[in-house]
Amino acid sequence: MTWSIVARDAATGGFGVAVASKVLAVGSLCPWVKAGVGAVSTQSLTNPLYGPLILERMQSGESVEAAIGSVTSADEGHVWRQVHGVDAEGNAFAFTGSQCIDWCGHSLGDGVSVAGNMLERTEVVSETLAAWSSGGEKPFARRLLDALIAGEEAGGDRRGKQSAAIKIITTEDWPWIDLRVDDADEPTATLSKMLDDFLIERAPYYATLATRKRPAGIYDPEKREHFRKGYLRAQGREG
């Protein structure tokens, strides 16, 4: 009983999921992301097998539509499920089972999918997508989370608020951003502050970590500090 946005970052080829719900720790089961492959959110009566199975099929060359179709058709409980995602080509696809609780549904765009169930109203999905579509000037993470917040402002989960999460993977197998608020009165507001703090305090450090192209990362303390300051200045922040 959740809504989420799944998207591809056209500028970097990265993928992300932002999700919120009136359940404890929604970020523990719903978002699945793999570098160079795509991103998926599995929700409603969540089947946690969906994420790995769908991404595995996408990695083998199937489109997100074909992968979701194959996995849901093999699940005898698929009418209760909702799952959606985006693949490496920017194709988006969503499945909302016939027994998902109203209001339920989804909407697709170029490189983006929004889906939800047990929502206050249809505008939760449409306003999430609209905020994403109009936020092209924003950094990818902020664009994702602001879109989710717009959905919450349109009504969100009809039962209320409890948890939220954002997960983004760029070129590496480890997540660039993986933030969760598992139990809070205002989870998306708390998550928004966490994201701002991460971008100032942790992102410069993450940018020095080992990558495929730079397997040792930046480890010399002086070089790391110089890089940290330059990174922040490039982001328009004080170094």
Q: pLDDT per residue over 165-195, tens digit each? A: 999 999 999 999 999 999 999 999 999 999 9
Q: Comparing C-alpha atoms, which of 2, 220, 239, 238 is closest to residue 120?
A: 2
Q: C-alpha dihedral over 187, 148, 177, 61, to 10 degrees?
A: 140
Within 8 A by CB and 6+ apart from 75, the residues are 47, 50, 81
Q: Comparing C-alpha atoms, which of 179, 189, 185 is closest to residue 148?
A: 189
The enclosing H or E element of 20 equals: strand 15-21
Dist. CA 56–CA 91, nearest whole Å: 16
Give the model's pLDDT for residue 21: 97
Lowest mean pLDDT among 72-81, 189-198, 212-221, 229-238: 229-238
Give the model's pLDDT for residue 13: 94
Structure confidence at residue 8 as a pLDDT band (50, 70, 90) = very high
Dist. CA 82–CA 117, nearest whole Å: 8
Report helix, strand or coil for 5: strand
| Residue ranges of domains in the chain, CATH in brackets | 2-187 (3.60.20.10), 205-234 (no CATH)
Q: pLDDT per residue over 128-160, tens digit each? A: 999 999 999 999 999 999 999 999 999 999 999
The enclosing H or E element of 93 equals: strand 92-96
Cβ(75)–Cβ(33) below 8 Å? no
Q: pLDDT per residue over 31-69, tens digit each? A: 999 999 999 999 999 999 999 999 999 999 999 999 999
The token pair at 47 is 């089947």
Task: Tell me the three-class secondary structure of 24-88, residue by residue.
Answer: CCHHHCCEEEECCCEEEEEEECCCCCHHHHHHHHHHCCCCHHHHHHHHHHCCCCHHHEEEEEEEC
Give the model's pLDDT for residue 228: 86
The token pair at 193 is 């502050």
Q: pLDDT per residue over 217-236, tens digit each? A: 999 999 999 988 888 888 77
Q: What is the mean pLDDT of residues 94-120?
A: 97
Token pair 């699945």 is at which residue?
Answer: 32
